[in-house]
Amino acid sequence: MDAEENFASSQDTTPRKRSLLAFWLLGLATIAVLWAVSIGWLLIQSPEAPPAGPRSPVVEAPAGPEAIAMAEAAWNAFVEAEDLRQRQALVLNPEQVAPMMEDYHEVRGHPWPTMSTRSPGREIQRNGLPVVVLEVEDFGGRVYPVAIGWDGRRYAVDWESLTAYGTMDWAQLLERRPQARQTLRLYLGRLPEELQPPPSIAAGHTFIRMEHRDSPTTAPLAVPPQLVHGILPMIEGRRVPCTIEVAWNPDLQAFVLQRLVRQGWSSAF
């Protein structure tokens, strides 16, 4: 009898133990699911942007004698620098200008500017940016202007306007007549009416005059109809420094304006 009772008692408790075990496992599974969901939610949240790295502080440009002294010192350092790398660190927009400097001086062999004397600097504004302008005479007697601009931290040499850099030398451009686009820093002006080609030759283009700062040779430039309205008013009654893209058109037998990059020779102002 006792054996039967014990067997019955054990049969009664087994379902309860199984129920407790199942409840306990279900609880653990629920906790695990909630934990996984919480971790997943945290992972898919956009993390807070890391703090920006340190930037060179922008400083208000000095004025008066201090500005002129700083600009003159920047020019002296450029002239006295020993090599290309040192000079590349002393120009405006060095990242953009450095490859141009290497092409112009190292590949094509143009000499570095020299200075015999210079005029005192004078302050001007170009598109709202402080610039100090010098007139420099080199050892060959040539007088040329130099612009030294404020970049927010220092005065630096505007090398683009200093050299009137182009992707091809002016004399080579006129001789080789490349059909590939070339970027040039030139003066643009009106071509007298009597020098305009007849409509049968112009083919809808308007012709103007282009010239390089360091050459007496001028050349006609054909302006397509879609660019005329942006060019003609700009050059009316004056000779304007511009950065342009040109290419030779063999059918027209002339250089054709492809794009006006900017009015002026500097990308800094």
pLDDT in tens, 74-108: 999 999 999 999 999 999 999 999 999 999 999 99
The domain boundary, picked from 144, 163, 182, lies at 163
**Beta-carbon-side half-sphere exposure of residue 67 (alpha carbons within 13 Å):** 23
Higher pLDDT pick, 36 / 134: 134
Report residue 46's pLDDT band, with 50, 70 and 90 as the boundaries.
very low
Q: Give the model confidence (pLDDT) of 172-200 as tens digits.
A: 999 999 999 999 999 999 998 888 888 88
> CA dist 160 to 11, 92, 102, 147, Å?
98, 9, 13, 10
CATH of the domain at 202: 2.40.50
Residue type at 269 in one-letter notation: F
Q: Give the domain extent around 214.
A: 170-263
Q: Residue 147 falls within a domain, yes or no?
A: yes
Checking if the pLDDT of 263 tops 90, the result is yes
Per DSSP, 32 falls in state H
Residue 64: pLDDT over 80:
yes
Strands 218-223 and 254-263: parallel
| pLDDT confidence bin for 56, thresholds 50/70/90 | low
CATH number at residue 77: 3.10.450
State how far the Cα of 71 lies from the Cα of 146, in Å rounded to an integer.
10
Where is pLDDT greater, at 63 or 6?
63
- Confidence at residue 22, expressed as pLDDT on a 0 to 100 scale: 46
Does any domain span residue 193? yes
Rounded CA gap, 87 and 81, in Å? 6
| Whether this model's pTM surpasses 0.95 | no
120 and 95, same domain (yes or no): yes
CA distance 11 to 111: 106
Distant-in-sequence contacts of 168-172, Cβ < 8 A, 24+ apart: 169/108, 170/212, 170/214, 170/215, 170/217, 171/215, 171/217
d(CA 73, CA 155) in angstroms, rounded, equals 9
**In what helix (H) or strand (E) does residue 78 lie, and over which residues does it extend?**
helix 65-80
> Has residue 77 been placed in a domain?
yes
DSSP secondary-structure letter at 204? T
Q: 225 and 195 in one domain?
A: yes
- Our count of domains for the chain comes to 3
Amino acid at 227: L
Closest CA to 159 of 70, 72, 242, 90: 90
For the four alpha carbons of 176, 180, 183 and 186, in that order, the dihedral sign comes to: positive
pLDDT of 18: 47
Examine the fold and report which residue of 163, 180, 203 is the final residue of a domain before the chain moves on.
Answer: 163
| 227 within a domain of the structure (yes/no) | yes
Residues 234 and 177 in one domain: yes
Q: CA-based Rg of the chain, rounded to a whole angstrom? A: 37
Indicate if 196 and 145 belong to the same structural domain: no
Say whether pLDDT at 57 is over 80.
no
Instruction: Based on the fold, state whether residues 24 and 111 are members of the same structural domain.
Output: no
Contact 258, 247 (CB under 8 A): yes
Q: Are strands 206-211 and 182-190 parallel, antiparallel or unpaired?
A: antiparallel
Residue 216: φ, ψ to 5°: -80, -10
